[in-house]
Chain A
């Protein structure tokens, strides 16, 4: 299923007005529960744009494929740099592939 939040790591963005994931979601889906932990409401409305996953400062969010269309155990982990981003992909058989590209040109 789409964003999966690790509640051990999630600190509710220190419970400020809006945690970063809530701010960024194009569908208004991420929000905090009464324990100040982030969750997606509902999961089935997620479009997997992965904006929340990229923005979480503590790396508490992981995007997963809904089981309806993809099997369990695959991972796609973004690591955001200052003007580039890397993606590490692990498939269900444990094969790891890595990608990196620049996403901003600064003069």
Chain B
């Protein structure tokens, strides 16, 4: 429990842990990374650095109702088919087809392992997995996280309640990470021969439209405790990032901001506006209507509102009570409080349709392709640093199965790397410098006239919402807005030294906002860099409203120049590997 806070840096003890493989973030990908490491080499020393408690940390905290990527090979579907589908979900590309294919080939084993470990996968009358969409199997995943966590705990040494703050380097090579204990107040140094960063995505870059409420600041679809630390620690060491403009803006239940695919995909509920028009069918039948790619499904309701035809809904009134009960059971597995939300509004979905709206934008490499640029072995452009899950980019539509698969692939890549590259060493100066940086907000003193992390976060969130295409702007941006945003992000960065924290918990918030600022910065650069509108909703450029295949059928990349601090933006070509079937 609460100990005495240290009064100065000398009272902060440093704990150094040496290991072979460090996994930052014990989530879906992280747990599978650990498990794979143990299977491959039981003698390897594997450490997981986890900000919360691995048993319920991260986006899977409440559970999951479906695994959205599991290939029904018994029906003749192939990994290539999955890649094609994924590609179509982002309007035909660009995606890293090499990553997508290798991931798709690894998928099924992960799902089958989860079942072996105790995860109930719903079966149909023939005892085959019950599909609710092309690739989506229904599960009762309320225990998904504990099940994965138990395997991770058997496979690695888990350091719970340790916040990662920066990588530690051996020259250009990533040699592990540093951070602090949010319970014990220690400074931690994890020295490792290879590192997998799997901290999930970034939530809370943008203001959500319910965030001003007294008790509803974190009413987001995505886990608000995933703030993009994994991206930030890579940004700060000059790692290359891909597709950060491909923000995940999704159609979500209004106000509660909960999942909608559960309903619309699983239960055939079509989107409908206040005039009773099935607007997806009406305007986007050429793209699949209600089965249109997700950016269409996110943007469409926003357009309806903007045009004055809101509110917008998914029409659940065709369901009978039994089907509705099934649907709500699904919700209880993933976001149980959604059932409470409906109850708190006296809302029976059979009687009234469920209202939808777009969510605030998130950066999640497991849903879209935004994240670290990685090679086939999942190594980023920083040697020794591997990425998996939402943190890794280039391969959208991974979801639970794909993040698990990528965890394994990253471990295999890391093991190879360790075999070839061997030991690392780290300098005292780096450790000391980071220790000072980390604890600085804690030692400001009672009378320090500074800023709380909360107010800095709120400033960033409104900035991004209004100038970088948040919900208040119906996701739209133009160059002038983005420049404005970048200018103010620059100001925010200068204010970081004014951050103060009164507790270790607040210190964690301080570092969360520092990380979010770094991520927000490159998001703005990416949005600037893609001068077209390829995925309206994910990124809508009012100054470049058309798609420009000639110039932008490619990846937009960025990298921070460590010397100057400037963000360099460039492109990489899109390689097609899988043909159209």
Contacts and interface: CB of A to CB of B under 8 A. Distances in A.
A26 B225 contact: yes
A57 interface: no
19 contacts: A2-B215, A26-B61, A26-B225, A44-B214, A47-B218, A66-B216, A67-B213, A68-B215, A69-B341, A71-B346, A76-B337, A76-B343, A78-B336, A89-B339, A102-B140, A103-B120, A103-B143, A105-B120, A106-B118
A42 to B, nearest CB: 8
A101 B344 contact: no
A18 to B, nearest CB: 7
A47 B215 contact: no
Given A45-B217, A47-B218, A89-B339, 18 more contacts: A26-B225, A27-B52, A28-B51, A41-B505, A43-B214, A47-B223, A49-B56, A50-B62, A65-B337, A66-B213, A68-B214, A74-B344, A75-B343, A91-B343, A91-B344, A91-B347, A99-B339, A101-B140
Nearest to A94: B346
Given A49-B56, A68-B216, A99 B343 contact: no
Given A75-B343, A89-B340, A103-B142, A44 B213 contact: yes
Contacts of A17: 1
Given A18-B1, A104-B147, A44 B218 contact: yes
Contact of B325 (A65, A66, A73, A99): A99
Given A71-B345, A103-B140, A105-B118, A63 B340 contact: yes
Interface string A19-49: 0000111111001100000000101111111
Contact of B215 (A1, A101, A103): A1
Contacts of A90: 343
Contacts of A73: 344
9 closest cross-chain pairs (CB), A and B: A70-B344, A68-B213, A66-B215, A48-B337, A91-B343, A1-B215, A74-B344, A74-B343, A76-B340
B1 A32 contact: yes
Nearest to A15: B1
Contacts of B141: 103
B58 interface: yes
A43 to B, nearest CB: 5
Contacts, number: 177
A16 to B, nearest CB: 9
Contacts of B462: none
Counting contact residues on chain B (CB < 8 A from A), the size range is 35 or more
A1 B344 contact: no
Interface stretch (B327-335, B396-404, B406-414, B541-549): B327-335
Nearest to A92: B346
Contacts of B242: none
B225 A91 contact: no
A103 B505 CA distance: 32
Interface string B478-520: 0000000000000000000000000001001000000000000
Contacts of A91: 342-344, 346-348
A93 to B, nearest CB: 5
B281 interface: no
A24 B50 CA distance: 12
B446 to A, nearest CB: 20
Contacts of A93: 346
Nearest to A86: B332
Nearest to A34: B2
A25 B52 contact: yes
Interface in B117-175: 118-120, 140-143, 147, 161
B256 interface: yes
A2 to B, nearest CB: 6
A47 B224 contact: yes
Contacts of A46: 215, 218
B56 A102 contact: no
Contacts of B256: 69
B56 A67 contact: no
Interface string A77-100: 010000001010111110101010
A67 B214 contact: yes
B297 interface: no
B57 A26 contact: yes
B225 A24 contact: no
Interface string A48-59: 111100000000
Contacts of B1: 17-18, 31-32
Given A25-B52, A105-B115, A63 B337 contact: yes
A87 B332 contact: yes
Contacts of B342: 91
Contacts of B339: 76, 87, 89, 99
A99 B140 CA distance: 12
Contacts of B213: 44, 66-69
B553 interface: no
Given A45-B224, A104-B120, A105-B118, A99 B337 contact: no
A18 B224 CA distance: 23
Given A67-B214, A69-B210, A69-B213, A92 B344 contact: yes
Contacts of B183: 18
B326 to A, nearest CB: 10
Nearest to A106: B118
Given A47-B61, A74-B343, A26 B56 contact: yes
A45 B203 CA distance: 13
Interface string B244-259: 0000000000011000
A11 B466 CA distance: 46
Interface in B186-226: 210, 213-220, 223-225
Q: Which of B2, B119, B339, B344 has the most CB of A within 10 A?
A: B344
B53 interface: yes
B182 interface: yes
